[in-house]
């Protein structure tokens, strides 16, 4: 916007009170409010077009493929033949896009509590959804994900939880609870897989990640945390899955490549067989930090991203 | 734009390499390039709508009245009956607006080298020009101010120089020279007044201001520097005028109020009789700094705002 | 500290929530806490050595002379023969330094509530106090300024109030009240003058300044606000005085120069006769803003700098 | 340092011109210059004590263990019985510390071109070297690493390159060249391993990493890049090793744990068998980016970190 490399506009994102990421702002494409959150769509020189909700980056052009591939594909690949998929949240439509790349998928039900946000993303983030909202297999469920799952007894092969981080008074809090996980796990088919984004997985910032993993384990006996480097988030990001069928370690890199080749349309950029072991092979300090975190998230016991 | 008071968009303007002003950015209304400069029109929480050229604030909603009143009115009030006024630069149209408030003015010729900028301001800054471009007394001269003055022998009662700061390779450099001032002074009527914006007048930042004042004195024997506090510029701002007729000290506060009451339409917010002495009553250190600066600006000897 | 002009240490000072001043940090000379406040003494490239209390710049090498001359000398010069002076606050010792430059002064009593701060300034800011603490005329009163004035019936020719800005739960709040002003005015000799620093005097930031001026008027019928540009404060700064004797407009520039020449040791850098009218000649908008502010500060009605 | 969470001191580190990391500064412990570089030792709230050279973070208390374990141990563990180790650079002494934890090591020769820096680290970073400089097995070679290796024909089991990033006119440039790698590889014993820190391995920032890996391959036919998340560097960080003996994939997690248990004193926090596969299992996009980068670094062909 300006000749001077510094005297100009910047996006300064709080990672926490003592750590901020500062990126050169090139354009503000949209700002507004929905019933649930502040929305900004900006463009930065470092990360490209970026969706911001309540001041926090949700996904950015440069690495939304990392986040969305890391979120969707491990769960789908672990399932022998995923036909029905449920997505909680996922307003951008990019998780939906990745899910629909699996040829086996016959129906993808997406329930984002914020219908206005979905409309905004549909209009302003076409590179994110890439037409997924218009796919004949897509069903947009009204209301929030918890209600959508509770009110129907239908079962899903894969449930993908792509909601915003737990924040005080934020709309996603009821999703990060043992009771939600228990209910959601009941909606899985026998070999079903549930996966959730699970907060920062960086040194000194593992409390939320650890609590989510521990809560999943409280609901399901075993959870598999993993992480990916999402540079636009300012730190390593955590995910966690629960599988009623295969476990991640039982899927060889070769089998991952075979399944991708057979099932997934187009070309993945983040995930393949060679990178599969890396996903689940965390540094020692992180594994120990997860073990040390013993909070079980409930309606009454919550942790927030500062 | 965001709930978090800090994790959000900011305009960070360089005052100099070691001093920046950081204001919360609320909207980016326009960004683009003309043939001469980068243009951004932004809105900040602290200063409101703001015009930025090449990364530097030109005027902001909160205090453009300070800058434009301080630039235009002293010169016009010193003249007994200003009829013809020439404005060099002044793309926003706000200097023109202030000039046209003087009922005596019959013609205001404005020559801004950047016609595209004038069009942008006309469209995006209606609060600045307030219709001045459509006033029957307005003449937009094609080309740059220097050429416009040189090519005609017409005389003016007041010449107002409202160009961007001198910057390396910037379009305003030829305006900040002894030769320009000499030529412009020849275009003044016998009691004519020339005034120019004259750079920062703050501690440690007086070189440009001092050089402009000294160059005016080299062209006209006597110049009157003055300053006003323009908070959106990040520091006290300097102006300087040369008068062939009355000098500022010969105009009493009472006479200033009388002239304003008689000549000026609407209400001034910055200038009146009571504030008139303050304009020309600079701190001792500043007057000494101006005396100490002996650079005469020429085509070969230039100083820049860093 | 670093080769890179930006990848390095910065002091980022909040002017208000939407406006910050960012200066390159060169050294941190001291950080600590007293019983009353956080103290930092830093050095920035733009402003030199700087005293910070509770995160706010108190005075900086580049322009502490502006602040302290503007605070002390107008009051002292208005008095015909100031012998006894009381300073409330003034921990750096620079207000004391300026007071003691007046040869007529026989005793200067200084009461800063924060004795530890005074000791820190004595050690780390020798350029500020310049030996004033060791002057035989100096009396350091124990305890806070209010108590010191209340507990003695002694009268002063000049009272200088140099305390930190009013902040929620800050130590200076009781000083910014009608009751304090009333009591202090009773301690003035017949031609006595009271002066106080009076907060920011910049567009959009006049509430505190206006309330202080209005409160002084409530206590004394007439107050004279004035302002000076203190660039290290990030904006124009307000002061206000009440005089039982001469008023500022009754002192001509020539008489100001005479009094300075006769009374003041050394050379003033900010104030002289030529700049005297400018001090009291505020822009129209500021004078109107002060008139519009009708808050009287009391123990129950307070305004804070955000 | 200050009550206000933002109005205070910050370290703002340039990742590149459009991306900065901003951390709250708590103390500046040392600033100075050696013959080769600017040195600052600071303390930030997010990362603790941090060594800065020429404005770039070298290592920080929070995660220097990640960087130094990731740099030293893979190479040492791949060797069947490392006795003699050469360290190029490594001024903090932390790479030396990790090397010396291997009981098999009989001699560790360290050559850092900047002897003054080594002394500063010895004094100010005792947590980093942890006494390693005083270990009887340590030999500090005078002069720079290239000269030290060239001038002696002695062979090493492991060579660890821990120099600053390649920067224009920086002291480390001659180390990032094919000719250096070729010479250094000649100094390896038959099963010897050479490892180097290898620049950022993050999206949009892989040029230096790719060039280093490609240059190693030009010198040695096969190189193994790997990466670790070093949050204080602001992005994922790359490393690369060349092994004349075992390759990383031939070492099972179990064997890694066995070797650590048998050889390494104390407890590793970053590396163990379970995390070993993750080190070498990069995302698909990164592996493709490395393949795509074909620059061979020579004395005449260089790439710099911006």
Q: Which residues of B touch A43 (CB under 8 A)?
A: none
- Helix, strand, coil in percent for chain A, rounding step 5: 35, 30, 35
CB-based contact B195:B71 (threshold 8 Å): yes
The mean pLDDT value for D228-256 works out to 96
Residue of chain B nearest A14, judged by CA positions: B7
Predicted confidence (pLDDT) at residue C4 exceeds the cutoff of 70: no
Phi, psi dihedrals of residue C52, rounded to the nearest 5°: -120, 125
Q: Of A144, A69, A157, give the one whose Cα is nearest residue A110.
A: A144
Q: Which residues of D touch chain A, with CB atoms under 8 Å apart?
A: 5, 12, 16-24, 44-46, 62-63, 65-66, 202-204, 228-229, 231, 235-236, 268-272, 274-285, 287
Low-confidence ranges of chain A (pLDDT < 70): 1-7, 306
Catalogue all structural domains in chain D, each as residue range(s) with its CATH number.
10-60 (2.30.140.10), 64-292 (3.40.50.150)
Q: Which residues of C touch B22 (CB under 8 A)?
A: 12, 19-22
Q: How many CB atoms lie within 10 A of CB A4?
A: 14
C-beta atoms of A21 and D24 within 8 A: no
List, by residue number, the catalytic residues of A: 162
Predicted confidence (pLDDT) at residue B278 exceeds the cutoff of 90: yes
Verify whether residue D162 is a known catalytic residue: yes
Q: Of B272, B57, B67, B290, give the one whose Cα is nearest residue B162.
A: B67
CB-based contact B193:B245 (threshold 8 Å): yes
Mean of pLDDT over chain C: 94
pLDDT of residue B7: 60
CA distance C99 to chain D (A): 30
Could you say which DSSP state residue B248 is in?
G
Selected for mutation to probe chain A from D8, D10, D13, D18 (highest A CB count within 10 Å) is D18
At D258, the pLDDT band (50, 70, 90 cuts) reads very high
Predicted confidence (pLDDT) at residue D85 exceeds the cutoff of 50: yes
CB-based contact C112:C34 (threshold 8 Å): no
CA B239 to CA D289: how far, in whole Å? 56
Q: Which of D162, D249, D257, D272 is catalytic?
A: D162
pLDDT of residue A7: 59
Q: Which residues contact D154 (CB under 8 A, 6 or more apart)?
A: D84, D187
Q: Which residues of A touch B6 (CB under 8 A)?
A: 12, 14, 20
Q: Which residues contact B152 (CB under 8 A, 6 or more apart)?
A: none
Q: How many residues does chain A have?
A: 306
Q: Which residues of D touch C306 (CB under 8 A)?
A: none
CB-based contact D90:D162 (threshold 8 Å): yes
Structure tokens at C280: 């009291």
Q: Which residues of C touch D31 (CB under 8 A)?
A: 1, 27
CB-based contact D118:D279 (threshold 8 Å): no
Q: Which residues of A touch B42 (CB under 8 A)?
A: 9
Selected for mutation to probe chain C from B203, B248, B291 (highest C CB count within 10 Å) is B203
CA distance B114 to chain C (A): 31
Considering Cα of A302, then B2, then B8, then B12, what sign does the dihedral take?
negative
Q: Which residues of D touch C1 (CB under 8 A)?
A: 28, 31, 38, 40, 52, 55
Q: What is the b/e burial string over C115-128, where b = at least 16 CB atoms within 10 angstroms of the residue's CB?
A: ebbbebbbebbeeb
Q: Which residues of B touch C46 (CB under 8 A)?
A: 16, 18-19, 204
At C7, the pLDDT band (50, 70, 90 cuts) reads low
C-beta atoms of D283 and A17 within 8 A: no
pLDDT of residue A306: 64
Strand ordering across the sheet containing B138-140: B138-140, B107-111, B84-89, B156-162, B188-200, B235-243, B224-230
Mean of pLDDT over chain D: 94
CB-based contact C238:B243 (threshold 8 Å): no
CA B286 to CA B283: how far, in whole Å? 5
Structure tokens at B221: 């024997």
Q: Of C32, C178, A102, give the one whose Cα is nearest residue D26.
A: C32
CB-based contact A46:A23 (threshold 8 Å): yes
Q: Which residues of C touch chain D, with CB atoms under 8 Å apart?
A: 1-4, 6-14, 20, 25, 27-28, 31, 38, 40, 42, 52, 54-56
CA A98 to CA A93: how far, in whole Å? 9
Predicted confidence (pLDDT) at residue C301 exceeds the cutoff of 90: no
Mean of pLDDT over chain B: 94
Residue with more model confidence, D169 or C189: C189
SS3 C31: strand
H/E element holding A183? Answer: helix A178-186
At B305, the pLDDT band (50, 70, 90 cuts) reads confident
C-beta atoms of A3 and B38 within 8 A: yes
CA C241 to CA C189: how far, in whole Å? 15
Phi, psi dihedrals of residue A261, rounded to the nearest 5°: -60, -40
At C272, the pLDDT band (50, 70, 90 cuts) reads very high
Strand-pairing partners, residue A52, are: A40, A57
Q: Of D216, D198, D222, D179, give the one whose Cα is nearest residue D286.
A: D198
Selected for mutation to probe chain D from A20, A66, A71, A234 (highest D CB count within 10 Å) is A20
CA angle at A185 for the pair A183 and A189, rounded to the nearest 5°: 125
pLDDT of residue B3: 45
Give the tens place of pLDDT for each residue, C220-233. Answer: 989 999 999 999 99
Predicted confidence (pLDDT) at residue B15 exceeds the cutoff of 50: yes
What pairing do the DSSP bridges indicate for beta strands B8-16 and B19-33?
A: antiparallel
Phi, psi dihedrals of residue D194, rounded to the nearest 5°: -115, 135
H/E element holding C108? Answer: strand C107-111
What pairing do the DSSP bridges indicate for beta strands B235-243 and B188-200?
A: antiparallel
Structure tokens at A156: 């899903």
Q: Which residues of D touch C9 (CB under 8 A)?
A: 9-12, 25, 28, 40, 42
Predicted confidence (pLDDT) at residue D2 exceeds the cutoff of 80: no
DSSP secondary structure of D95-108: HHHHHHTBTT--EE
CA distance D270 to chain A (A): 5
Q: Which residues of B touch A6 (CB under 8 A)?
A: 12, 14, 20
C-beta atoms of D54 and C2 within 8 A: yes
CB-based contact A157:A190 (threshold 8 Å): no
Q: Of A35, A156, A28, A162, give the one whose Cα is nearest residue A94.
A: A162
Q: Which residues contact A96 (CB under 8 A, 6 or more apart)?
A: A87, A90, A108, A110, A129, A132, A133, A135, A138
CA distance C216 to chain B (A): 22
Q: Of B71, B81, B68, give the one whose Cα is nearest residue B189.
A: B81
CA angle at D283 for the pair D281 and D289, rounded to the nearest 5°: 115
Neighbours of chain C (3+ CB pairs under 8 A): B, D
CA angle at C144 for the pair C138 and C149, rounded to the nearest 5°: 70
Residue of chain C nearest D3, judged by CA positions: C54
Radius of gyration for chain A, computed over Cα atoms and rounded to the nearest angstrom: 18
SS3 B50: strand
C-beta atoms of A24 and D17 within 8 A: yes
C-beta atoms of B14 and A20 within 8 A: no
C-beta atoms of C20 and B19 within 8 A: no
Give the tens place of pLDDT for each residue, B141-192. Answer: 988 999 999 998 899 999 999 999 988 777 888 999 999 999 999 999 999 9
CA B197 to CA B227: how far, in whole Å? 9
Predicted confidence (pLDDT) at residue B4 exceeds the cutoff of 80: no
CA distance A89 to chain B (A): 20
Structure tokens at A129: 């959804």
CB-based contact A96:A129 (threshold 8 Å): yes
Strand-pairing partners, residue D140, are: D110
Residue of chain C nearest B14, judged by CA positions: C22
Q: Which residues contact B195 (CB under 8 A, 6 or more apart)?
A: B71, B72, B74, B75, B158, B159, B160, B161, B239, B240, B241, B242
Of A65, A203, A284, the CB nearest to D63: A203
Predicted confidence (pLDDT) at residue D4 exceeds the cutoff of 70: no
C-beta atoms of A10 and B13 within 8 A: no
The mean pLDDT value for C103-123 works out to 97
Phi, psi dihedrals of residue B145, rounded to the nearest 5°: -65, -40
The mean pLDDT value for C180-192 works out to 97
At C300, the pLDDT band (50, 70, 90 cuts) reads confident
Q: Which residues contact C130 (CB under 8 A, 6 or more apart)?
A: C93, C94, C97
C-beta atoms of C231 and B235 within 8 A: yes
Neighbours of chain B (3+ CB pairs under 8 A): A, C
ipTM of the complex: 0.95
Residue with more model confidence, D170 or B76: B76
CA D108 to CA D95: how far, in whole Å? 10
pLDDT of residue D166: 87
CB-based contact C201:C186 (threshold 8 Å): no
Q: Which of C162, C249, C257, C300 is catalytic?
A: C162
The mean pLDDT value for B67-75 works out to 98
pLDDT of residue C6: 53
Of B18, B44, B274, the CB nearest to C46: B18
H/E element holding D211? Answer: helix D207-220
Structure tokens at D183: 């010479």
């Amino acid at each position: 916007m300006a000749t001077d490399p510094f005297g100009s506009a910047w996006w300064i994102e709080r990672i926490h009170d003592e750590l901020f990421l500062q990126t050169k702002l090139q354009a503000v494409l949209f700002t507004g409010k929905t019933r649930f959150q502040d929305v900004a769509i900006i463009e930065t020189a470092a990360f490209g077009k970026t969706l911001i909700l309540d001041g926090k980056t949700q996904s950015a052009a440069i690495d939304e493929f990392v986040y969305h591939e890391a979120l969707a594909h491990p769960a789908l690949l672990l399932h022998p033949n995923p036909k029905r998929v449920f997505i909680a949240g996922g307003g951008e439509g990019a998780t939906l896009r990745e899910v629909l790349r699996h040829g086996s998928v016959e129906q993808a039900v997406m329930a984002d509590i914020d219908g206005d946000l979905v409309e905004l993303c549909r209009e302003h983030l076409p590179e994110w959804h890439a037409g997924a909202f218009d796919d004949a297999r897509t069903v947009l469920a009204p209301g929030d994900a918890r209600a959508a799952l509770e009110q129907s007894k239908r079962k899903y092969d894969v449930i993908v939880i792509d909601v915003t981080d737990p924040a005080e008074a934020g709309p996603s809090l009821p999703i990060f609870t043992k009771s939600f996980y228990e209910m959601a796990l009941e909606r899985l088919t026998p070999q079903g897989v549930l996966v959730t984004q699970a907060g920062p997985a960086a040194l000194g910032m593992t409390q939320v990640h650890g609590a989510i993993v521990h809560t999943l384990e409280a609901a399901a006996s075993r959870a598999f945390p993993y992480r990916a480097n999402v540079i636009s988030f300012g730190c390593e990001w955590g995910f966690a899955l629960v599988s009623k069928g295969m476990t991640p370690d039982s899927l060889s890199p070769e089998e991952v490549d075979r399944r991708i080749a057979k099932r997934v349309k187009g070309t993945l950029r983040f995930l393949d067989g060679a990178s599969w072991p890396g996903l689940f092979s965390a540094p020692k300090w992180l594994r120990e930090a997860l073990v040390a975190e013993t909070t079980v998230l409930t309606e009454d016991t919550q942790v927030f991203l500062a």
